[in-house]
Amino acid sequence: MAIILGIESSCDETSASICIDGEIKSNIIASQAIHAKYGGVVPELASRAHQQNIIPTVDQAIAAAKINKNEIDAVAFTRGPGLLGALLVGTSFAKSFALAMNKPLIEVNHMQAHILAHFIDDPKPNFPFLCLTVSGGHTQIVLVKDYFEMELLGETLDDAAGEAFDKTAKILNLPYPGGPLIDKHAQNGDPKAFKLPEPQIADLNFSFSGLKTAILYLVQDEIKKNPNFLDERMDDLCASVQDRIVFILLNKLKKAAKETGVKDIAIAGGVSANSGLRKGLLEMGEKYKWNVFIPKFEYCTDNAAMIAIAGYQKHLIQDYVPQDIAPLARMTV
Ligand code: KG4
Ligand code: ZN
């Protein structure tokens, strides 16, 4: 039997999870509400909140899994990418715990973990599969050849998809993080109400900054004509923005599927919680006869279950790291 403790602290979620023989027994997430009033994550405040939350979060994860901390066989932690000060908290905790309990330490790449969240529940994708990983900091199309053998086929050249949602939300006067709010308003709006540009980017890369600028100009022009524009057209604006972002994402995914011939297609990361993207992928999957994999909501945004499941796979091959390991703000998939 193998019991893995997973720790995630790369951004504004402090999370701990217990995985027993590949099964997630607990996944506790302490979200940091403090950032909302600043309109984005403030790194210093994130580090401080992680420092306050980490031990209670780990205690809760251990209690919820009904185990004793002495039974943990290995500690997996997010090494990067992410905010360095935030990563340091989780890394230091994991190292101290491993040292005190005399257990091995496992480093996990956060972007790989988002993808490996698909191995928590059935049905699981078959290798090789394609994954569109869309979060607040990244937008990537990855060819997943094995658990830890991944090839980056395309990525964003400027803003990430989550950033496109959040920055647009800011223009629309919605609070941070705006992605889920745009999703909510979009459900009652007309996706074709406003015509927004499609970036002309070659290959499998993405660009979202032009879209953001187009929305800014559109809103500024319309408010000049009608000061109540945002209130009156919020649902239609959100539906149109969401429709365009989803179209851009799925178009490239379709291209990647065509080029690679791969039929197992997954999405991962915070933006994979978006209802428009989930629906669009299901429709496209039916059309092109793909096997589509969509994570449960709790495994879309940052969580330690994905760190624990990735850690479990590394534990099986005894892929451990020494105590002098340090976190990395940047890491490729
Ligand atoms: O993966 P994640 O939790 O953190 C990072 O690693 O970045 O992703 C957070 C991002 C935010 O930009 C948030 O607005 C976006 O995911 N997001 C959504 C939705 N839920 C979360 N975007 C659009 N629609 C949603 N339902
Ligand atoms: Zn993430």
How far apart are alpha carbons 280 and 244 in whole angstroms? 11
pLDDT at 242: 98
- pLDDT at position 39 is 84
Average pLDDT, the chain: 97
Report domain extents, the chain: 3-115+301-316, 125-295
| CATH top-level class of 125-295 | alpha beta
> Is 189 among the annotated ligand-binding positions?
no
- Residues 242, 186: contact at Cβ < 8 Å? yes
Tokens of 318: 């005894």
Secondary structure, 3-state, 38-49: HCCCCHHHHHHH
Which residue minimizes the CA distance to atom 16 of ligand 1? Answer: 270
Ligand 2 (ion): residues with CB under 5 Å are 135, 302
- For the CA of 269, the closest atom of ligand 1 is 1
Say if ligand 1 is within 6 A of residue 269 CB: yes
pLDDT digits (tens, 9 = 90+) for 81-96: 999 999 999 999 999 9
- The ipTM (two decimal places) reads 0.98
**pLDDT for position 34:** 87
* 3-115+301-316 and 125-295 agree in CATH topology: yes
The answer, yes or no, to whether any atom of ligand 1 lies below 6 A from the CB of 302, is yes
User: Quick one: average pLDDT of 261-279?
Assistant: 98
Split at pLDDT 50, 70, 90, the class of 219 is very high
Task: Give the total residue count for the chain.
Answer: 333
- Average pLDDT estimate for 60-77: 98
Alpha carbon nearest to ligand 1 atom 20, residue: 180
In the chain, the largest separation of any two C-alpha atoms, in whole Å, equals: 67
Measured from the CB, is residue 85 less than 6 Å from ligand 1?
A: no
Is 172 within 8 Å of 230 (Cβ atoms)?
yes
* pLDDT surpassing 90 at residue 38: no
pLDDT at position 37, please?
Answer: 85
Give the pLDDT score at 204.
98
Share of the chain above pLDDT 90, in %: 95
Is the Cβ atom of 208 under 6 angstroms away from ligand 1?
A: no
**pTM, full prediction:** 0.96
What average pLDDT does the segment 42-71 reach?
97
For atom 13 of ligand 1, the residue with the nearest CA is 179
Give the model's pLDDT for residue 320: 98
| Weakest-pLDDT range from 29-33, 248-252, 253-257 | 29-33
Is residue 301 lining ligand 1, measured as CB closer than 6 Å? yes
Distance between Cα 331 and ligand 2 center (Å): 13
CA distances from 287 to 136, 248, 250, 261, 278 (A): 29, 17, 13, 15, 14
Q: Which ligand is nearest to the CA of 181?
A: 1
Whether the pLDDT of residue 205 is over 90: the answer is yes
Q: Is 168 annotated as a binding residue?
A: no
pLDDT at residue 202 greater than cutoff 90: no
Give the residue-averaged pLDDT of 179-191: 98
Predicted confidence at residue 51, as pLDDT, reads 98
First and final C-alpha spacing in the chain? 29
Contact 114, 250 (CB under 8 A): no
Residue 255 tokens, joined: 């291209």
What is the average per-residue pLDDT within 277-295? Answer: 98
Distance 63 CA to ligand 2 centre (A): 25
* Ligand 1 atom closest to residue 184's alpha carbon, by position in its atom list: 26
Give the domain 3-115+301-316 fold. Answer: Nucleotidyltransferase; domain 5 (3.30.420)
Which residue in 132, 25, 7, 133 sits closest to 77, CA to CA?
7
Transcribe 228-249 into DSSP letters. Answer: THHHHHHHHHHHHHHHHHHHHH
Q: Which residues 6+ apart lie within 8 Å of 160 measured at CB?
A: 134, 135, 136, 137, 138, 139, 208
Q: Any long-range contacts for 36-42 (C-beta under 8 Å, 24+ apart)? A: 36/175, 36/176, 38/176, 39/170, 39/175, 39/176, 40/166, 40/176, 41/11, 41/12, 41/83
Show Cβ contacts of residue 111 under 8 Å, excluding neighbours closer than 6 positions. Answer: 81, 133, 138, 140, 142, 331, 333
Q: Which amino acid is at 275?
A: S
